[in-house]
Homo-oligomer: A and B are copies of this chain.
Amino acid sequence: MKLLITGGGGFVGARLARTLLARPQLDGQAITQLVLTDIAPPPADLLADPRVQARTGTLLSQTPAISGEDFDGVFHLASAVSGECELDFELGLRSNLDSTRALLDALRARGAESGKVPKFVFSSSVAVFGPDASVPMPPRVADDTLPAPQTSYGTHKLMCEYLIADYTRKGYIDGRSARLMTVTVRPGRPNGAASSFFSGIIREPLAGVVSVCPVDPEVSHPMSSPSQTVDGLIKVYEATREQLGGRLALNLPGLNVRVADMLAALEEVAGPKVRALVRFERNEGIAGIVANWPTGSSAERAGKLGLKPYTQFAEIIREYIADCQAGPNAQDTLKGMQ
């Protein structure tokens, strides 16, 4: 089978690609070709796999070619992040709305010739939810909580969920939207996302570096590990329409955890010296954004697909440590633990 991962050079996209290539099959079929599109090339290990074809450039520039190819399945992960979209409104529209529309239309155009209906998994986001003066947000946003996005990013994700549902209803694709929870612990450097600190307060201390937490320890949020997020995308891909049960967008599982719990888990796993590298210094800008985010989530329908969150944040930290130990830079990334 021939698969496409948009955003295949990114952290989640590359991990998904690796996981898929290591499996004997997806949805009962062996993967013979895996096309990864992104604005930057994927990591070298993926480029070295003969089944992988990397294409670099914006998704919008690549959809004309995609309309001439038969894909059995698509994981659509390419996206500008929340903070970027707030700074550059047109970038958000182009990267998150127009690109999805162009991708859907490319698949529709091809399907009109080939008769094929590709499976299509869209990475939506917990950012579709938000507080609203007329409809308060529940403590745990559920599959059927009324969305009220408070960012352009969340707005476009939600619009794409509905667009994908309509293309699916018309039979152009077999679509489903998985709402990702905040993925923690992300490796690498802090980025511009307001949620960056959720990874930073674990990753930096483990590397022996001081980290500043910009919100109160009581702040709570649903988190998912990288491996659980990838598992969720794959399970949602493999689910039948009957298993999805009608509505095509669903929450992926998240562990609802307070910052205080995260730091207690850090101390449990890595000791008090590592924990002591985190200091609190409130940033009103970030704290204000985070105050609009869900404090927790539930994922009843994902649970029926066999997806469950970790029950302890320590498990998420241990997953990150194991990833670091398997990587080439463990001496640096885990310097704080030495």
Where the two chains meet, the residues of A that have a C-beta atom closer than 8 Å to any C-beta of B are 89, 132-135, 143-146, 148-150, 152, 155, 158-159, 162-163, 165-166, 169-170, 245-247, 301
Determine if B132 and A152 form an interchain contact, defined as CB atoms under 8 angstroms apart.
no
Q: Which of B146, B166, B169, B246 contacts A133 (CB 8 A)?
A: B246
Q: Which of B89, B132, B247 contacts A134 (CB 8 A)?
A: B247
* A143: chain B residues within 8 A (beta carbon): 134
* A148: chain B residues within 8 A (beta carbon): 247
Nearest CB on B from A168, distance (A): 11
Number of copies: 2
Q: Which of B145, B146, B155, B162 contacts A149 (CB 8 A)?
A: B162
Q: Is the interface of A mostly helix, strand, loop or mixed?
A: loop
Contact flag A247-B169 (CB < 8 Å), given A146-B146, A158-B162, A163-B155: no
Cβ contacts A to B, 29 pairs, < 8 Å: A89-B170, A132-B246, A132-B247, A133-B246, A133-B247, A134-B143, A134-B144, A134-B245, A134-B246, A134-B301, A135-B144, A135-B246, A135-B247, A144-B146, A145-B146, A146-B146, A148-B247, A149-B162, A149-B165, A149-B166, A150-B169, A152-B166, A152-B170, A155-B162, A155-B163, A155-B165, A155-B166, A159-B159, A159-B162
Determine if B165 and A133 form an interchain contact, defined as CB atoms under 8 angstroms apart.
no
A170 to B132, CA, bound (A): 16
A134 to B158, CA, bound (A): 18
A166 to B166, CA, bound (A): 21
* A145: chain B residues within 8 A (beta carbon): 146
A89 to B246, CA, bound (A): 22
Nearest CB on B from A127, distance (A): 12
Nearest CB on B from A129, distance (A): 12
* A150: chain B residues within 8 A (beta carbon): 169
With most chain B CB atoms within 10 A of its CB, the pick from A159, A163, A166, A301 is A166
* A152: chain B residues within 8 A (beta carbon): 166, 170
A165 to B247, CA, bound (A): 23
| Supplied contacts A89-B170, A134-B144, A152-B170, 11 more A-B pairs, CB within 8 Å | A132-B247, A133-B245, A133-B246, A133-B247, A134-B245, A134-B247, A134-B301, A135-B247, A144-B146, A148-B247, A159-B163
A170 to B163, CA, bound (A): 23
A89 to B165, CA, bound (A): 14
* A144: chain B residues within 8 A (beta carbon): 134-135, 146
